Chain A
Amino acid sequence: MRVQFVLQEVWTGLRRNLTMTVALIVVVAISLSLLGTGLLFVKQIATDLRRSPQVEHVYYESQAQAYQHFKQDFSRDPAFTNLVTKAEIPDSFQVKLYNTQADYSAVAGAVQGRPGVDQVVDDASILSKFYALLDGARNAVVIIAVILIIAAVLLVANTIRLSAFNRRRETSIMRLVGASNFYVQLPFLVEGILAGLAGWLIAAGLLIAVKTLGLDSLQQYFPYNVQLSEADLIEVIILAMVIGVLLCGATSFLTLRRYLRA
């Protein structure tokens, strides 16, 4: 009936316009992926800052464990690891603070100089370089994402325009015969949104890969757990879908109003 008719028209449109639609899907996928990656980076930094307690946790690492970890971390450089004997790797307490910035000096001062305490090391100094890197990466990614989103918007507009041109015979007869504007525009709108959703699916896959293969593998450099939860990932993915669908839908609608006036 009506739904079937609209779906038929959508299918016809997709078939006739396949090349452009594929291009559209690819660009949407890439731009949503980049946007999502940027968001993931932002969340990663935020998570870490959020999870800085004052002495939330103390983890004792014995010499044997420390030596194991040391060999793992530098497993790619056996020449270096062979130089260092177990005796040279000290026992250590890994201290996790509630408020690193404020309390570090207090806690460090309290602990430093105590018998048996050789050194108090502030991981933040090591990690600050990492955060600077992450910040820079996030900025770069977001800028590229914005540029790509502009490209995606233009591509959606062009694809819809081309699709409308390909179907101008059907469209003109539809208007002549008295189809309401909504009915005439609906198949193209659905086409645009479907392409957007397809692009989003690809982007979602890529974002999952970024999180599991990329960010999570960086956990080994952190003494405590700053892994982004699944909820974070799902949040970013859903946000990407909303942006993607809104983008494609709104652009399609506005383009159609210009090229398919009654």
Chain B
Amino acid sequence: MCQTGQEPGKARQHGRLVPQARESPHLPNACDGPVIHFDNVTKTYPSQNRPALESVTLDVEKGEFVFLVGPSGSGKSTFLRLILREERPTEGRIHVAGKDLARLNNWKVPYLRRRIGCVFQDFRLLPNKNVYGNVAFALQVIGKPRRFIRKVVPEVIDLVGLEGKHERMPDELSGGEQQRVAVARAFVNRPMILLADEPTGNIDPATSIGIMKVLDRINRTGTTVVMATHDAAIVDSMRKRVIELEYGKVVRDQSRGVYGQAY
């Protein structure tokens, strides 16, 4: 992450210096230019006639908070999957963190994904690990040393508001708490981008506000957040940039926008 006036390799959190392990040098730290850049991107799935995304061109700058709205099938999930390089565009170019995804070798994709955190509607926690284990898993599988994990994981669990619940298993947690664990797992590696695919879809409106507060807190640390959602109330209350998709096309791109327009 680029922040001016920082020592390389370290980041500030809550005012304390937290040394970060050296990340793989495969992707450059893009300190200038948009963090996500779509250039005339079209994606058609093989079994369908209509493209899931059509001629999408947009930029997301570092540190932005973007809502992606639109009816089911409008291409929101496809958009997120393209950023993660889970799908490849049929046409057009995508740049994430300054790197052209089309030119990315298959074996470099994992390193891209370490810079991107992901949260889903169905939480996707491991049922046989407790809160600590679920969050630590994200660091263990990329080979971080145990000392590092023991220091960083409790911090991020506190950040999402689950102090004292390290030992709980997922089935002992409410939906809102489970999603917080998922957010903690997505954020623990201090990614550049946090993608959220309908994170409040399975959560009641009151608890959703708590989740959004966490995402907002994360956004304030400099993480770019892109969130696909149906939740009109949240979009309206936060007044962030709104990109509306309809049948795969961008029909609206508004900073400080609301969920829907009065037609």
Contacts and interface: CB of A to CB of B under 8 A. Distances in A.
A154 B107 CA distance: 28
B113 A176 contact: yes
B126 A170 contact: yes
Contacts of B116: 178
B5 to A, nearest CB: 28
A166 to B, nearest CB: 12
Interface stretch (B138-146, B159-167, B200-208): B138-146
Given A1-B145, A2-B143, A173-B126, A178 B112 contact: yes
A235 B109 CA distance: 45
A179 B138 CA distance: 8
Given A1-B145, A5-B141, A174-B141, A180 B124 contact: no
Contacts of B118: 176
Contacts of B141: 5, 173-174, 177-179, 183-184
A257 B156 CA distance: 35
Nearest to A261: B106
Given A169-B126, A173-B124, A180 B145 contact: no
A183 B115 CA distance: 18
Given A169-B126, A170-B126, A181 B107 contact: yes
A179 B110 contact: yes
A262 interface: yes
B62 interface: no
B114 interface: yes
Contacts of A176: 84, 113, 118, 124
A5 B138 CA distance: 12
Contacts of A184: 141
B110 A173 contact: no
B45 interface: no
B137 interface: yes
Contacts of A4: 146
Interface string A177-209: 111110110000000000000000000000000
Contact of B140 (A5, A181, A262): A5
A177 B143 CA distance: 12
Contact of B113 (A5, A177, A183): A177
Interface in A1-49: 1-2, 4-5
Given A1-B145, A173-B126, A262-B106, A178 B113 contact: yes
Interface in B127-183: 127, 137-138, 140-143, 145-146
Contacts of A2: 143
Given A2-B143, A5-B140, A174-B141, A181 B124 contact: no
A179 to B, nearest CB: 4
A172 B137 CA distance: 12
Nearest to B145: A1
Interface in A161-176: 169-170, 172-176
Contacts of A179: 110, 141-142
B145 A181 contact: no
A183 B140 CA distance: 10
Interface in B88-129: 106-107, 109-116, 118, 124, 126-127
Contacts of B114: 177-178
B15 to A, nearest CB: 28
Contacts of A1: 143, 145-146
Contact of A181 (B84, B110, B146): B110
Given A1-B145, A1-B146, A180 B140 contact: no
A178 B124 contact: no
A4 B140 CA distance: 10
Nearest to B84: A176
Nearest to B147: A1
Interface string B230-244: 000000000000000
A9 to B, nearest CB: 9
Contact of A177 (B107, B142, B145): B142
Contacts of A174: 141
B182 to A, nearest CB: 10
Contacts of A262: 106-107, 109-110
Contacts of B185: 177
Contacts of A177: 113-114, 137-138, 141-142, 185, 189
Given A170-B137, A177-B185, A178-B115, 6 more contacts: A170-B126, A175-B110, A176-B84, A176-B113, A177-B113, A178-B112
5 contacts: A5-B141, A173-B138, A178-B115, A183-B142, A262-B107
Nearest 7 Cβ contacts at the A-B interface: A178-B114, A178-B113, A179-B141, A177-B138, A178-B110, A174-B141, A180-B110
Interface of A: 1-2, 4-5, 169-170, 172-181, 183-184, 262
